[in-house]
A and B are shown apart, each in its own frame.
Chain A
Amino acid sequence: MGFLAWLEALPLSIWVHESPSVWAQPTILTLHTMGMAVLVGASWVLDLRLLGVSRNVPLASYRWVFRAVAIAFTVNVITGVLLFASKAATWGTAFPFLVKMLFVAASVAFLVPLRTLVLTSGPEQVEVAGNARFLAVASILMWAGAVTAGRLLAYLVP
């Protein structure tokens, strides 16, 4: 509890929370949403490919997904940490927030084997192994859970 209170009392945390500037919480939250759209959207595009949408496109053509994901994920870690710090004592003890983080962790965990799959596939390879379809379904559902839980935080955590 001491750590959360200390984090929330940092000048930067107070600025994010209290500043009337549009560059404080509003912009950080908007960047977090844009990062979410690219992160989740790019992941879903790959997941859909593994499930048979645009099935003629070689898997190796989807390498860009992981660059987009890396950039968007970096943006969301930075903005996420800032948003967390601005209300650390609240978020750090809220059960719905833990649920969201578990969904995010699971989503990112599923991206690791998906990345290996894309990076190791041949330049013309279009066939998808059966277990990759399982990964795709899991990835779609975990991201959906993360987005839903994240949006509902505004209502579940006062």
Chain B
Amino acid sequence: MESITSVDTTHLHLLLNHVPTVGTVAALALLLLAIVRRDEMLKLAGLEVIFVIALLSMPVYMTGVAAQHKIHKMPGVSDTAMSVHQDAALTGFTVAEFAGFVAWIGLWQSRRRGRAAPGVMTAVVVLSATSLALMGRAANLGGEIRHPEIVTAAASAMDPAQFVTAQISDIMVNSPWAWPASEAVHFLGLSLSIGVLFAINLRILGVMKHVPFGDLHRLLPWGMLGFGANLITGMLFFVGQPGQYLDSAPFYWKVVFLMVAGANFLYLTVFKRSWAAGAFTAGFGDKAMAVLSIFSWLAVLYGGRMLPFIGHAF
């Protein structure tokens, strides 16, 4: 179990960090093609790619912070450049998550009504284009980390406490209520998400046999609400005290299973079979997916709850 923390996060970051930039270019191209050709399938593909980019942006951000902790004492590496890059990345990440969230709403609407609302499509394109610009800027600033000679004078004169990440961290660590309140919200969110996904996956496994899948699909936005609350509070913890998570094996597993659970959430949203007929019996593949989903969410919870106990204590 410990071996997962020996993953070379610096190289992983250099590999994954192309996803938010190159991936978003591809996703926007798909969406623009879809709009020009009036092709609903292509539109769905574009929305799905944007959702997946939002998911993968989490490990991109986290491996980036891990890389910073590993290389900040190396010669030829600018600490200020890394903090500037990190602030830019957090801004891009936030917009990318909103883009993924709105893209998910579009997918949910498409499943229910055959197409996403025009306002949602506009919002996805605007948010994705903004995220691409911000991520591009972050990528550019990231390139300066190894080249301290091109760090601008203004940046190197910055007070370390000015960085957004430093300010969030300051509030999370020093405020008497910020961390506890976020923990309480995190637990409310996990209960909501797990309750909703439990209900939908039990339906696939054969409970509530006579209920059309489409009727339970209505619940998904509530699962997304819980997930959103937990993404926000979870990021506050991570930005607040990254050192607690970077060498922690349960945290690595948690992020791995979060990717699986997120992909499964997408599958449940766009899932085709079962919609036409009232009662349906899921095939083996769907049942395996449902079991995997319940297992992944419990694994995410396990990784989170075991954080203080396995790996290293804090």
Contact = CB atoms under 8 A, between A and B. Distances in A.
Contact of A147 (B184, B199, B308): B184
Contacts of B26: none
B210 interface: yes
Interface string B189-202: 01111111011001
Contacts of A125: none
A114 interface: no
Interface string A56-78: 11100110100010000000000
Interface string A36-49: 11101111110010
A148 B188 contact: yes
Given A26-B309, A45-B196, A148 B184 contact: yes
Contacts of B184: 147-148, 151-152
A62 B212 CA distance: 14
A83 B244 CA distance: 25
A54 B215 contact: yes
Contacts of A26: 305-306, 308-310
A64 B191 contact: no
A43 B199 CA distance: 11
B208 A40 contact: no
A111 to B, nearest CB: 14
Interface stretch (B27-35, B65-73, B216-224): B216-224
Interface residues on A, range: 35 or more
Interface string B166-203: 00000000000000100110111011111110110010
Given A30-B302, A34-B298, A64-B207, A54 B219 contact: yes
B183 A151 contact: yes
B211 interface: yes
Nearest to A26: B309
Interface in A113-142: none
B124 to A, nearest CB: 25
A14 interface: no
Contacts of B191: 36-37, 40-41, 44, 143, 147
Interface of A: 22, 25-26, 29-30, 33-34, 36-38, 40-45, 48, 53-54, 56-58, 61-62, 64, 68, 143-144, 147-148, 150-152, 154-155
Interface of B: 180, 183-184, 186-188, 190-196, 198-199, 202, 207-208, 210-212, 215-216, 218-219, 222, 298, 301-302, 305-306, 308-310
19 contacts: A22-B310, A26-B309, A30-B302, A34-B298, A34-B302, A37-B190, A37-B194, A38-B195, A41-B192, A41-B194, A41-B196, A41-B198, A54-B215, A61-B210, A147-B188, A148-B188, A152-B180, A152-B183, A152-B184
